[in-house]
Structure formats: C-alpha cells, structure tokens
Amino acid sequence: MPSIRKPQPKSQKEISNGLVDPYVSSETGQSLGNPNIPSEFNQFTSNDQSGIDFNRSLQMSFKNDTTKPFTLGLQDIDESIMYYFQNVIKPTVLQNGVKIPVPIIYGSPERWKSTQKDGYYKDKNGAIMSPLIMFKRDTIDKNRSLTNKIDANTPHLYTSFKKTYNLKNDYSNFNLLNNRVPTEQFIVNVVPDYVTLTYSCTIQTYYVEQLNKIIEAVNYASDSYWGDPERFKFKASIDSYATTVEITDNTNRIVKGTFSIKLFGYVVPDTIQKELTAIKKYNSKSQVIIGLETVNNLSEAKTTTKKLSPIFIDGQQPVINYIDPIVLQYLNTNIQKLGTFSSSTTITFNSGWLPAPAGLPSTSLNNFSIFCNGTLIENTAIVSFTESGGITTLVINPSLLGYSFNLNDEVVAIGKFSS
C-alpha cells in the first residue's frame, strides 16, 4: 500500500523554471533547451529546482566566534543621534548662575502627543520640564542612487571586512621556516539599503539666551557625521530653525525652538532571505613561499643536500631531481654589450657567446635582445647575428627595419655573452 505523503508546494524557482520555453534552432529545427543552463541536456537538476544552492566549502560556522553576522537597524540610527547629543554636543545652559546639562529624550508617541497638545512637555507631576531637547523619527526615504541588491531573495552584491585575528594563524615552526603567508578571514554580508531619515527636534527653555546657546551648538555640529565612533556614524544635515516664545495662563513662560535633522543612513536587516543566500565568512588562500638557492659548483650542492632531512610521501621517499648549477648559471646570465658602428647595416660587439650546457638548445639569436636607441629590433629585420673569434656581428635589413644605422646610434645587445 503506498504511503500517504503530504504534498509539497513548488518553490518560486520551480514555478519560474516551468514557464521557460526551450530554444528551437531555426536551422536544424531541434530543441536546444535553455542556453543559460549549463547542466547536461539543458535540464534542470533537483538542486536547480529546489531554489537553494549550497556549497558546503563556503558554509563556515560562527561557533565560538566573537564576530556575528552584521546587522544594522533603525534603532541603531536613532541611538547614534542620542549618543551625539549626549557625548559630543553636550548642550548646557546657565540656570540661576549654575551650568546644568540639558536632558535629551526620545519623543515616544505618548510624549510627543502630550507636547503637541500642551505646547510643552511636562513631567509626571505636571510641572514643565525645561530646559529639554526632544527628537523623534518622522520619515524614511529609500535612496536607490547608491546601490542595489538586484534581487532581495537572491542578493548578488556583497560587502566584506577583514577580521584582525584568525585562529588558523597559530604560531608554528613550520610557518616560520617556510615563510608561510598567514591567511586572512573575512566576514561577508549583503550590501545595505541606503535610506534618508528625517527627524523632528524640539528645544524648550525658560529664556531666549538659553535657546540661543543650544541652537549655536547644534548648528555647529551640522553637516558632520553623528554617532558612536566605535559603532556607526551617519552624516546629519540641518537647514533651518524656528523659534517661538509662548506665555500661557499668564503664569508659564516657555521659549521653544524646532528644527529638522536629515540623516543619511543605511540599513542591513536581520531577515531570513539574507541568512539563506549570503556567504557568512571565508578565509583567504594561504601560501608557502620557497626561494631559489644556487651554489658555485656541484660539490657544494652535494654537501648541502646531505643536511636535508628525508621527506616521505605515502610512506615512500620520492626521487628528488636537483638542477645542475652550470645550467642555472647559464639561464641566469644576461650581459649587456654596447655595439660598435661598422656600416649602415653592420654593428659589432666585442664579446663571444656563452656555450649552452648539454641538454639545452645551442646559443643563438633567440637568446639575445637587441635595441637601437632604446627601441627593440625585431628578429625579422635581422639578416644575421653570428659569433666568431670572440667578436659578435649583427647585420640588418634596412628595408624591413625601416631605417639604417649611423655613427651616432647607440646599439645595445643583452643576452648570453661570455664576458
């Protein structure tokens, strides 16, 4: 008897792939499938249809890691304004000859409604609180001119930042002796949503002089980056201020100032879409740099190899082939010689050639680079380049080269000269 299984609805990716019409060639009339699908026979595999593509090598755990996936919300932006008021601007007023700090509070709906109804904010006992600064967030506008995730369900753009310490870089003698380049660990996250936030701020004091001091301090801080330097900072802009003096019931006198803060921020939400698609963190590739060492003669090379510890691979000692020092000396030779003018087509160099060791091609024009007044002479324009009796002779074809030599030309050859 077949088992009763609850039907599973198709994912959005399965629905979209089901609507793809296969491409039919106009020449052969055969269906070639979707050219954007690299799988065999242009068929969607089970992983392609699932809507979730995982690479286990990129799935690194955050267990015992002090750095967590990066998120930044609207509350963090609100706290940046509170921090800047309290720790950077530090507004103060003179009250009865005493310098007192001005309290800063966030305008919750209840507080803001009470302020709008009475014209000023009161404490729980009904007394007017002054001096005081209150602010609240009004609007959030998305800024699409900076960046775009392309698709929120499958983000294609990422940002990354490097950690200061990586556990994989523990000290060892192997790393020191082999000049191992340490690995770097990066935390990766989706690009943020850039937003422009508008805040309404109210200042209430007893005297105009007190209000002036606060506005002067706030205006000076405009067009700078507000926030905690250890966390996040956002650029704030303030354009205008409005001031009023209110007297109610012939008893209460209050001086008010209002202004708006335009803050340019960004948001990285903690959503399930980001958690499913973003690479959380990765390590850079480590390197082991092995330098090249040469000796003057073969006996020194044999003496050096005796000091090496045996190397075993899969229980067996491999055969190690050493490069002949004579071959290394030949390969590393590049001597520069200045030519002597003989005729408009001929230059001579006062040196012979270094003979090639056994097993290497004999020394020829291919082992030299020739320049005339700093310009390379192509081999196709050279008729001959020969060596005889310790003298090297260069003959060119002026029609192929485009010019001929004269007495003032500086012709230099670099290559396997003997001395």
Both 129 and 244 in a single domain? yes
Residue with the bigger pLDDT between 198 and 44: it is 198
Query: Residue 9 domain-assigned?
Result: no
What pLDDT is stored for residue 264 in this prediction? 93
Q: Mind listing the pLDDT tens digit for each residue in 77-134?
A: 999 999 999 999 999 888 888 888 888 888 877 776 766 666 667 666 666 777 888 8
Q: How many domains does the chain have?
A: 3
Query: Residue 113 domain-assigned?
Result: yes
What pLDDT is stored for residue 144 in this prediction? 85
Query: Residue 304 domain-assigned?
Result: no
What pLDDT is stored for residue 320 in this prediction? 52
Query: Residue 280 domain-assigned?
Result: yes
Both 257 and 368 in a single domain? no
Query: Residue 300 domain-assigned?
Result: no
Both 95 and 242 in a single domain? yes
Query: Residue 356 domain-assigned?
Result: yes
State both tokens at 17: 């792939």
Q: Please identify, among 7, 37, 53, the residue that sits at the C-terminal boundary of a domain.
A: 53
Both 126 and 149 in a single domain? yes
Both 34 and 85 in a single domain? no
Q: Could you tell me the pLDDT band of residue 306, with boundaries at 50, 70 and 90? A: very low
Q: Mind listing the pLDDT tens digit for each residue in 355-381?
A: 888 888 889 898 999 999 888 898 889
Both 148 and 25 in a single domain? no
Both 122 and 221 in a single domain? yes
What is this structure's pTM? Answer: 0.50
Both 157 and 269 in a single domain? yes
Domain harbouring 338, CATH code: 2.40.10
| Cα–Cα separations (whole angstroms), residue 194 to 50, 74, 88, 180, 269 | 31, 12, 25, 40, 12
Peptide linkage before 192 cis (omega within 30 of 0): no
Residue with the bigger pLDDT between 373 and 276: it is 373
Both 333 and 260 in a single domain? no
Q: How many CA atoms lie within 13 A of 205 on its CB side?
A: 22
When computed from its CA atoms, the radius of gyration of the chain, rounded to whole angstroms, is 39
Both 285 and 396 in a single domain? no
Both 49 and 98 in a single domain? no
Query: Residue 351 domain-assigned?
Result: yes
What pLDDT is stored for residue 305 in this prediction? 42
Print the domain residue range for 31: 20-53
Domain harbouring 150, CATH code: 3.30.2000.10
Q: Please identify, among 268, 291, 314, the residue that sits at the C-terminal boundary of a domain.
A: 291
- pLDDT higher than threshold 70 for residue 249: no
Count the Cβ atoms, other than its own, within 10 Å of residue 331: 13
Both 192 and 246 in a single domain? yes
Query: Residue 91 domain-assigned?
Result: yes
